[in-house]
Amino acid sequence: MIDDFTIEFQKFWVTTAGKVRAFMFCACNSWNDADDMTQDCYFRALKAWKQFDGRASREAWLFGIARKTRVDWLRQKIKTNTIALENNNKVDPCDISRQQTNTLSIEKIWEVVKNLSDEHKEVIHLKFASGLSYDLIAQTLDIPIGTVRSRLHRALKTIKEQVGDRENET
């Protein structure tokens, strides 16, 4: 017999797992590692489920856990010096609108994203890889929505400028 908690958690997992997995992928460029981090994130969420205080949405709460999971994973990889990025020439599958855009441009865009500040990179990943709204991003990062908008604006402006510069070089 399945209890109410199990049903609630399963529904939550179904509606959020793809977004969390995409967010994790952007940190490591490996689906295997993204799957491991996603599993760890949901394990942490399951353990802390009753501690959710309702100050933000449950999804924002989950992405807070996802951020911490990513940081812990990256620290561990740096500590053991085993970060192994896959072929850098591959297109990063974080961008959903890829089919409508030139592959070369996408590679340039994601190469520029890799070089953004951590704050800008994180907002780009949450918005475009995970598809979160401005409000959910603000809740996840615990910053005002105006800050989300300005970071996203600055990041997109930088991307546009740098991709344009790179295209002019070729």
List pLDDT tens digits, range 109-146. 778 888 899 899 999 999 988 889 999 999 999 999 99
pLDDT of residue 170: 52
- The DSSP call for residue 127 is I
Residue 105 pLDDT > 80, yes or no?
A: no
pLDDT of residue 99: 42
- Per the model's pLDDT, the better-predicted residue between 87 and 16 turns out to be 16
Write down the mean pLDDT value for the chain: 81
Residue 23 pLDDT > 70, yes or no?
A: yes
CATH, domain 4-169, list 3.30.70, 1.20.140, 1.10.8, 3.30.40:
1.20.140
**Whole-angstrom Cα Rg for the chain:** 17
Distance CA 66, CA 102 (A): 31
pLDDT of residue 62: 95
pLDDT tens-digit series, residues 25-67 = 888 888 899 999 999 999 999 999 989 998 889 999 999 999 9
For the chain, domain boundaries: 4-169
| pLDDT classification of 87: cutoffs 50, 70, 90 | very low
The b-or-e profile of 107-137 (16+ CB within 10 A means b, else e) is bbbbebbeebeeebbbbbbbbbbbebeeebb
Distance CA 33, CA 27 (A): 9
Residue 164 pLDDT > 80, yes or no?
A: no
Distance set, CA 103 to CA 63, 66, 118 (Å): 29, 29, 25
Distance set, CA 60 to CA 22, 47, 93, 98, 132 (Å): 15, 17, 23, 26, 9
Element holding 139 (H helix, E strand): helix 134-141
